[in-house]
Amino acid sequence: MRLPAAQHLLGMLGDRSLKLDHAAFDALPPSPAVEHLREMLTHHHILPDRGDIHLARFLPWLDIKLSKFQDRPHIHQPLEQFGRWHHLRRLRADPAPKNMDYATRTAKQEITEAGKFLAWLDEEQHTKVDDLKQEQIDLYWSEGPSTRKHVRAFLQQRKLTGRNRPLTARARTAESSPMVTAQERLDAIRLVIESKNVIPGTRLAAVIFLLYGTPIGRIVALPADSIRSTLDGMTISLGSQPAPVPELLIPLVNEHLNNGARSRSMNKDSPWLFPSTKSGQHISANTLWNRLKIFSIQPLATRNATLFDLTKELDAATLGALLGYSTQIMAAHAARSGNIMGHYPVLKLE
């Protein structure tokens, strides 16, 4: 907290021009320094707990996003319905989403793209969403960046609520599933293990992705106690059943647990396997993925190759229990590999 912005905030606390409550922090211009100080004060019980931090951040973000269309009610109203009645209701549901970080990021992206679509209708088609025609959806779908695919959730939600029911929101489909070769995946695992100049946490996260095909959003939210050592070896809990950790990787796991981020500063004894620099939180998916770029991993192609290889060795139901995927997803990958039923895999590097 030595940067000028942080020193200014501490000075405001010192002279009491900044009250010790969340409303006062919400009124400040958003910045990393503001959130870092707020989270430190919350972690040490000086400020009250706001519950899930991702949901707490989503609420002011949504208010700011909607305020940009305050002067255009024909955009503001449908966007608010989508943001509050659809996404916010889901985020507040009981039980809550398993990965709130991923859920809020998805909500933000879909709301942002819905806003762009409504603005496009208004500015280029001179049309309100209640007068939307199928050809306009098709036109928007056929041009522009691939992020436009996220408008589909908004259009589907309007169909479900009885608006624009005859219209179809067709998703763009890939002609094929990208996949690296088994040798490329094995070379990537070796590169990660041998990259001694990279911190253990980054290498361990990369290995979990390469060995088990676990999505980045789930890797960051793994609790520290998902790693267990028993007389039979080390395991990692990714699904309902613990998965074996190859013996070759045990030193890397131990190095991360004993000398990694969990052993330093505010995150000493953190409950997360991959803690953030922010008090009490795990690392964000975006931060982790940016770190993994050093290994030039192709995310979708590598994940497909991992699950393709594993379904050759193990049946879909058991593999789903080990990796935390649904049986349906595993069955789809197994069908692609041409081997629906297999035997128990021995994870090893040959």
What is the tens place of the pLDDT at every residue in 255-304?
A: 998 886 655 555 667 889 998 877 778 888 878 888 988 998 888 888 88
Q: Tell me the percentage of the chain whose pLDDT exceeds 90.
A: 32
Coil, helix or strand at residue 340: coil
| Comparison of pLDDT for 11 and 58, the residue scoring more | 58
Residue 168, burial from CB neighbour count under 10 angstroms (0-12, 13-18, 19+): exposed
Contacts of 335 (CB under 8 A, 6+ apart): none
Residue 196 has φ and ψ, to the nearest 5°, of -65, -20
Predicted model pTM: 0.60
Task: Tell me the average pLDDT across 126-138.
Answer: 86
Quick one: pLDDT at residue 313?
A: 82
Task: Tell me the average pLDDT across 60-70.
Answer: 92
151, 169 contact by CB (below 8 A): yes
Give the span between the Cα atoms of 287 and 3, in whole angstroms. 21
Quick one: pLDDT at residue 1?
A: 45
Quick one: pLDDT at residue 339?
A: 58
Question: What residue ranges of the chain are covered by domains with CATH 1.10.443.10?
Answer: 182-337
Give the span between the Cα atoms of 303 and 103, in whole angstroms. 20
Eight-state DSSP code of residue 236:
E
| Comparison of pLDDT for 61 and 344, the residue scoring more | 61
Torsion (CA) 9, 32, 106, 56 in degrees, nearest 10: -20
194, 186 contact by CB (below 8 A): no
Eight-state DSSP code of residue 235:
E
229, 207 contact by CB (below 8 A): no
Q: Which has the closest alpha carbon to 333: 298, 303, 296?
A: 303
Q: Tell me the percentage of the chain whose pLDDT exceeds 70.
A: 86
Task: Give the residues across from 282 on adjacent strands.
Answer: 275
Contacts of 256 (CB under 8 A, 6+ apart): 200, 201, 203, 204, 262
| Comparison of pLDDT for 171 and 303, the residue scoring more | 303
Is the pLDDT assigned to residue 321 strictly greater than 60? yes
Minimum mean pLDDT range among 9-13, 112-116, 221-225? 9-13
Quick one: pLDDT at residue 341?
A: 47
215, 326 contact by CB (below 8 A): no
Quick one: pLDDT at residue 345?
A: 42
What are the angstrom distances between the C-alpha of 57 and each of 31, 41, 54, 280, 306?
12, 16, 5, 15, 34
Is the pLDDT assigned to residue 76 strictly greater than 90? yes
**Per the structure block, which two tokens stand in for 209?**
């992705």
Task: Tell me the average pLDDT across 298-322.
Answer: 86
Residue 145, burial from CB neighbour count under 10 angstroms (0-12, 13-18, 19+): exposed
**Per the structure block, which two tokens stand in for 47?**
């400020």
Is the pLDDT assigned to residue 95 strictly greater than 90? no
For 182-337, CATH number out of 1.10.443.10, 2.60.120.200, 2.70.98.10, 1.10.3190.10 equals 1.10.443.10
Give the span between the Cα atoms of 62 and 298, in whole angstroms. 32
